[in-house]
């Protein structure tokens, strides 16, 4: 392809535009973040990122994101399976709707979810008398994160399910395996990498989610404050340096997840071909 450079035009222009743009938009802001954090001594840094309030925020963020991702893996497997394997009326309509959480502004999701689950809301009318409170609780955070992350698992599983050969299943069936054996031993193993990818994508997305959560959560310090809410409230103080320190911890978590996702995608790509 390098010989293209002599034939096709625009190498310098396109690469120049791309690199300049990425430098201005990404590299400079990240460097500025690092510079801000480097103002702190290690002790000050630890003081900013490891207090009772931040610990509680990490805990709330990590647990709610984790539960949401687990629920999304289960729901996503169900949806992907049904959408790939079965025929039913309005299938394409339901299939398209899976992408709605990508397209719907998070503020709208937060608003409508919160008002569905209040005591006189459509869902709250049934759930609140049963003693299940969702609005203004950490359960609400999980519920809205499940919505936000729903498409990730479905959309990672669908292509893998489509590419899976029916022959293997049928071979297993002809050798006397029953449906549940086929599911656990034949179908699930090749799906596992894609399920992990979907899990990580949902989890990563949930960690940084802000817009929808502030509507439905109580956002109380030490109880229901997630890390993004904590960062925003420190920015407003304004304690920018401390906010940056916490943001760096979050960035580090996200980058680790991103690397894990790339590795998993590389592995599931091997299964898909």
Partner 1 sequence: MHTSRAVGHKPGTTGHGSHTEPAWVRWLLISCAIAVISILVIIPVVNVFYQALANGFDTYRHQLLDDAETRHAIWLTLTVVPVAVVLNTIFGVAVAWAVTRFQFPGRTILIAFIDLPFAISPVVVGLMIMLMFGRLGIWGPTLEHWGIKIVFAYPGLVLATTFVTLPFVARELIPVMEALGADEETAAVSLGANGWQMFWRITLPNIRLGLLYGVILCNARAMGEFGAVRVVSGGISGETDTMPLRVEKLFQEYELPESFAVASVLTLLALVTLIAKTLLEHQTQQQLARADDEQAET
Which of positions 163-222 make contact with partner 1 (CB under 8 A)? Answer: 166-167, 169-170, 173-174, 179, 204, 207-211, 214-215
Q: Is 7 in the site for partner 1 (CB under 8 A)?
A: yes
Given candidates 47, 115, 136, 137, which one binds partner 1 under the rule CB under 8 A? Answer: 115
**Which residues inside 129-148 make contact with partner 1, applying CB under 8 A?**
146-147
Is residue 150 near partner 1 by the rule CB under 8 A?
yes
Instruction: Choose among 50, 59, 60: nearest CA to 242.
Output: 50
Closest CA to 165 of 147, 145, 142, 190: 190
Residue 223 binding partner 1, by CB under 8 A: no
Q: Is 48 near partner 1 (CB under 8 A)?
A: no
269 binds partner 1 (CB under 8 A): no
Q: Which of 106, 156, 219, 224 binds partner 1 (CB under 8 A)?
A: 106
Determine if 88 is a binding residue for partner 1 (CB under 8 A): yes
State yes or no: residue 235 binds partner 1 (CB under 8 A).
yes
Told to check if 238 binds partner 1 by CB under 8 A, we report: yes
Selected binder of partner 1 within 57, 98, 194, 195 (CB under 8 A)? 98
The reply on whether position 78 binds partner 1 by CB under 8 A is yes
């Amino acid at each position: 392809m390098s010989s293209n450079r002599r034939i096709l035009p625009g190498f310098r222009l396109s690469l120049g535009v791309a690199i300049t743009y990425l430098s201005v938009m990404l590299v400079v802001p990240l460097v500025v973040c690092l510079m801000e954090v480097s103002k702190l001594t290690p002790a000050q840094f630890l003081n900013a990122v490891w207090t009772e309030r931040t610990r509680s925020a990490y805990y709330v963020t990590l647990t709610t994101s984790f539960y949401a991702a687990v629920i999304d893996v289960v729901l996503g497997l169900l949806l992907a399976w049904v959408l790939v394997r079965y025929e039913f009326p309005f299938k394409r309509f339901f299939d398209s709707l899976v992408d709605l959480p990508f397209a719907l502004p998070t503020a709208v999701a937060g608003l409508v979810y919160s008002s569905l689950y209040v005591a006189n809301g459509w869902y709250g009318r049934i759930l609140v008398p049963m003693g299940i409170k969702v609005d203004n609780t950490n359960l609400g955070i999980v519920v809205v994160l499940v919505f936000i992350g729903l498409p990730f698992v479905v959309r990672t599983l669908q292509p893998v399910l489509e590419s899976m050969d029916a022959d293997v299943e049928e071979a297993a069936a002809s050798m006397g395996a029953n449906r549940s054996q086929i599911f656990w031993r034949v179908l699930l193993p090749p799906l596992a990498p894609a399920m992990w990818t979907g899990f990580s994508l949902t989890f990563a997305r949930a960690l940084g989610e802000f817009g929808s959560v502030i509507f439905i959560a109580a956002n109380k310090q030490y109880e229901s404050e997630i890390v993004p809410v904590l960062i925003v409230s420190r920015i407003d103080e304004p304690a920018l340096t401390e906010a940056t320190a916490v943001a760096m911890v979050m960035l580090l978590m996200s980058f680790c997840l991103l690397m894990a996702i790339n590795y998993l995608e590389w592995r599931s790509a091997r299964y898909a071909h």
